[in-house]
Amino acid sequence: MSVILLTGGGRGLGRFTAQKLAEAGHEVLLTARDAAAGERAVDEIRAGSPRARVRALTLDLGSLASLRALTDSLLAAGQSLDVLFHVAGVMQQSPVRRVTVDGLEETLAVNALAPLYLTHRLEPLLSGRAVFVSSRLHLPGSRGVPVHFDFDDPQLEHGYHPQRAYKNSKLAVLWVASAFTRRWAASARTAHAVCPGFVPETVAASTQGFQRFLMTHVLAHMPFARSPAEAVDSFVFMATDAGVARQPGLFWGEKQPLASSPESRDEAKSERFFAWGLRTLGLPG
């Protein structure tokens, strides 16, 4: 049985994945931005499975102070980790660019820089795999405003659009996963990326009005949509399947390796983003 640190455990796919993993006997450390949401998730999981080994940790991925505090305390405790699962993510709806308390563009900060921070700092505690949640939306030609990552403007200070911010962040997290894959080539650690598929029922929680109606009552019933249960099943597979660990550096969906974009496999861009990310996060290279 593994010790699994999973972000985004307070709600959404992270919440249900934490439950499945705990029910299967793994020890789960779930993080939530809101301490009460984390405790509620733990109570609910224990109510259904009294012997579940699960506890909540508070972590705001959009705050360097919060990332530092959690990683400092895990390092001080010498908490061993078999799996680090970066589930939490944000998809803004508003056209207004938002920045974190540290002045970083929020989508890139939460979806790509925070996983980089956690993995880099927790590396000494990690014996197994890191799983990064990306999205097929990083692919060129995916619906909406196209992906376009400009290293001269990584935080979209010019021409911000929430869809571009999301797609760029999911491209960037693939660069982070491949950078760790190269760094860990001679170790037992492995890095992997996954897309849960389009899950309208959890997307609905971040939308309002007609958008929410569309997600819940129309798109959720389309053949291309995935149910939360299917997506969680694929996340549990990513966290636990031995075959995944034997194939580091791949992008997965529905328990199968998928082709990620050629740009996501560009080693020079991956290294450039990784180095920029470390500098931006104030971490040693």
Ligand X SMILES: NC(=O)c1ccc[n+]([C@@H]2O[C@H](COP(=O)([O-])OP(=O)(O)OC[C@H]3O[C@@H](n4cnc5c(N)ncnc54)[C@H](OP(=O)(O)O)[C@@H]3O)[C@@H](O)[C@H]2O)c1
Give the residue, chosen from 22, 29, 56, 88, that forms a contact with ligand X under the rule CB under 6 A: 88
| Distance of alpha carbon 125 from alpha carbon 54, whole angstroms | 18
Give the residue, chosen from 89, 115, 248, 249, that forms a contact with ligand X under the rule CB under 6 A: 89
Nearer of residues 51 and 210 to ligand X, judged by Cβ: 210
Min CB(13)–ligand X separation in Å = 3
Nearer of residues 52 and 203 to ligand X, judged by Cβ: 203
Min CB(188)–ligand X separation in Å = 26
Q: Which stretch binds ligand X (CB under 6 A): 30-38, 142-150, 154-162, 208-216?
A: 30-38
DSSP single-letter state for residue 24: T
| Distance of alpha carbon 151 from alpha carbon 192, whole angstroms | 24
Min CB(66)–ligand X separation in Å = 8
| Distance of alpha carbon 198 from alpha carbon 227, whole angstroms | 8
Q: Which stretch binds ligand X (CB under 6 A): 43-51, 58-66, 213-221, 244-252?
A: 58-66
Whose tokens are 């308390």? That residue is 101
Count of other CB atoms within 10 angstroms of residue 272: 15
Nearer of residues 85 and 273 to ligand X, judged by Cβ: 85
Do the Cβ atoms of 238 and 263 come closer than 8 Å? no
Min CB(24)–ligand X separation in Å = 19
97 makes contact with ligand X (CB under 6 A): no
198 makes contact with ligand X (CB under 6 A): yes
280 makes contact with ligand X (CB under 6 A): no
- Token pair listed for 192: 């992997």
Which residues 225-254 are close enough to bind ligand X by CB under 6 A? none
**In terms of Cα–Cα distance, which of 104, 228, 89, 103 is closest to 167?**
89
205 makes contact with ligand X (CB under 6 A): yes
Nearer of residues 11 and 120 to ligand X, judged by Cβ: 11
CA distances (Å), origin 114, targets 58, 92, 132, 144, 210: 14, 17, 11, 25, 32
115 makes contact with ligand X (CB under 6 A): no
Whose tokens are 């598929």? That residue is 197
Nearer of residues 10 and 128 to ligand X, judged by Cβ: 10
3-state secondary structure string, 30-97?
Answer: EEECCHHHHHHHHHHHHHHCCCCEEEEEECCCCCHHHHHHHHHHHHHHCCCEEEEEECCCCCCCCCCC
Residues that bind ligand X (CB under 6 A): 8, 10-14, 33-34, 37, 59-62, 87-91, 110, 133, 135, 195-196, 198-199, 202-203, 205-206
